Chains A and B, each alone.
Chain A
Amino acid sequence: MNRKYLAAPFSLWMALFTIVPILLVAVYAFTDAGGTFTLENFSKVLDPLYLGVLLRSVGMALLCTLICLVIGYPAAYFLAKKEIDPRGALVLLFILPMWMNFLLRTYAWLALLESNGLITSTLNRLLTLLGAEGEVRLLYSYGAVLMGMVYNYLPFMVLPLYTVLSKIDPRVVEAAQDLGAGRAQVLSRVVLPLSLPGVASGVTMVFMPAVTTFVISRLLGGAQFKLFGDLIEQQFLFTGDWNLGSAMSLIMMALLLLSMGLMKGFGDKEERGQDA
């Protein structure tokens, strides 16, 4: 018996449940409700209404990625220093939220930000004490959604950065210091370039789920606040326009594969640069 035939159940399963469904999406995307070939679904996505949502999704995901990088890089850098965290217990604390269901993490912010929530009501009481009129509303806003995204995805930025930074050979840093580099120079010319593969994978790990989310926008942004993921969900579950929804899904897949290819090329190049 040739052992390669053991892969038969795997191949069958993947063909049936991965290849066929994606082909099905492609067929729906390029046909109309009657089943004839059309490109109309894609031109519909270019409608300013939908295009605006797509651009907002990409913009928000980029902003979220940037914020996570700015907050996460120093955190990962400090964590990687052995004298701060000799037993790695802090690292565990950074990983723990990743294990928690992301709906619960989003729900936790919902509970804080809603009008009777701790943050909103405390803020309003403070404002009343200060004699200000009116009430602030935090939930169902751009800021609430962005906050939810950063909160959910920050650990996904810290972890890959930490992994790369903790592997940097301390002797390389010492060599740079011996050769007269100051702190800023060591950071910008040694540590930062060596950590770029970690940056690339952190950026991918944050950007990917951020650009496809529809849960965070629904729970923290309300029914009116739409991201591209919400549009896809809407086409399949409410409007019933599977053709348009499929075209949107294909566009999202293309967008992600493109950005992932970009980041991977970036990370690879840096690694090759290290070897040279």
Chain B
Amino acid sequence: MKAERRKGGAGRFFQRMYLALVLLFLYAPILTLIVFSFNASKSRARWDGFTLRWYAELFRDPDILNALYVTLGVAVLAAALATVIGTLGAIGIHRMRRRSKALWLLVNNVNMLTPDIVIGVSLMLLFLFFKLPLGFFTMLLAHVTFNIPYVVLSVLPKLRQMNESAYEAALDLGASPGQALCKVVVPEILPGILSGALLAFTLSLDDFVISFFTTSQVQNLSTLIYSMAKRGINPTINALSTLLFAAVLLLLLLLNKRVDLAEQR
């Protein structure tokens, strides 16, 4: 009995060691990047003292600031547009007959399953075909396109859970279809809409491949980092990475806390 427990302890130790090693593999590169973002020398191997110089340069660099605005602007606009189109789309698809429902769900899935690089080049072909100059606007169109399917798929399950009679009851009680939609259907499916919007926003923030093919001069953070990284290592990218990592960490902690609170309630 005792021996068995000791064996269990050794097993648990091994398991913890294994997880720690995998986490070390996942985090060591990021942590190195963070540490060297505070390094006074430009060297990547020697520590020359603490500095905030790279952060100061970051906030003075017009290209980086501009890319930040583009990234946020595209993400907010694309998420908003995709949420409206996707939510209406989901409500419509939900009411469709079997055949057309299957067709539009298939189109939705084709969009989701097509590799990013193919979506990127196909949209680039479309924009060039219609002589649209590649820039902020085309990037926005592309982001809305890859966001919509995720909104549809977040809203549809909520619609399936909804009681169909609620909408009809509202109509019977004298609500116009628009009122019934806004006051009965939307509040019911709101969690789905919100998670779809959040997903769209984060997907848009994170995208590189599709942005890369659908813009030329206007850069978002991803395409900017790519062109900077191709030219070589640059301490300002380290500083930028650190800030982005901190932002993601904060967001995830906040979300997790919200989930915790919701679970307690």
Contact = CB atoms under 8 A, between A and B. Distances in A.
Say if A and B assemble together.
yes
Interface of A: 1-11, 13-15, 17-22, 24-25, 28, 71, 74-75, 78-79, 81, 83-84, 90, 92-97, 99-112, 114, 116-118, 121-122, 151, 154-155, 208-209, 212, 214-215, 218-219, 229, 232-233, 236-237, 242, 245-246, 249, 252-253, 256-257, 260
B145 to A, nearest CB: 4
A107 B114 contact: no
A245 B93 CA distance: 34
Given A10-B89, A94-B26, A100-B244, A112 B126 contact: no
B244 A18 contact: no
B154 to A, nearest CB: 14
Secondary structure at the B interface, as helix, strand, loop or mixed, is helix
Interface stretch (B16-24, B54-62, B72-80, B190-198): B16-24
Interface string B96-117: 1000100010011011011111
Interface residues of B, number: 82
B226 A112 contact: no
A236 B238 contact: no
B45 interface: yes
A252 B249 contact: no
A9 B122 contact: no
A21 B202 contact: no
Given A6-B92, A103-B222, A249 B117 contact: yes
Given A100-B245, A111-B32, 17 more contacts: A9-B89, A10-B89, A14-B104, A22-B118, A100-B30, A101-B206, A104-B33, A104-B225, A108-B33, A108-B241, A215-B209, A229-B117, A232-B117, A246-B125, A249-B122, A252-B117, A253-B118
B152 interface: yes
A74 B18 contact: yes
B189 interface: no
Nearest to A108: B29
B208 A17 contact: no
A121 B18 CA distance: 27
A151 B29 contact: yes
A78 B93 contact: no
A116 B45 contact: yes
Interface string B128-167: 0100000000000110110010001000000000000000
A220 to B, nearest CB: 10
Nearest to A89: B256
Contacts of A209: 115-116
Nearest to A155: B26
Contacts of A22: 110, 114, 118, 122
Interface string B194-224: 0000000010011011000100000001100
Contacts of B256: 92
Interface of B: 12, 15-16, 18-19, 22-23, 25-27, 29-30, 32-33, 36, 43-45, 84-86, 88-96, 100, 104, 107-108, 110-111, 113-119, 121-126, 129, 141-142, 144-145, 148, 152, 177, 181, 202, 205-206, 208-209, 213, 221-222, 225-226, 229-230, 232-233, 237-238, 241, 244-245, 248-249, 251-252, 256
Given A20-B126, A92-B252, A94-B26, A219 B222 contact: no
20 contacts: A10-B90, A10-B104, A14-B148, A17-B126, A18-B110, A21-B119, A21-B122, A24-B126, A75-B18, A84-B15, A97-B26, A101-B208, A103-B222, A104-B33, A104-B241, A114-B44, A114-B232, A209-B116, A249-B121, A256-B113
B91 A3 contact: yes
A232 B241 contact: no
Contacts, number: 236
A192 to B, nearest CB: 17
Given A100-B248, A107-B237, A256-B115, A6 B45 contact: no
A103 B229 contact: yes
Nearest to B128: A242
A21 B123 contact: yes
Contacts of B12: 83-84
Contact of B152 (A10, A71, A208, A232): A10
A81 B230 contact: no
Contacts of B23: 90, 93-94
Nearest to A223: B230
B117 A18 contact: no
A58 B124 CA distance: 25
Contact of A108 (B30, B104, B122): B30
A21 B123 CA distance: 6
A104 B34 CA distance: 11
Contacts of B114: 18, 22, 253
A242 B208 contact: no
Contacts of B229: 103, 106-107, 110, 219
B29 A99 contact: no
A14 B111 contact: yes
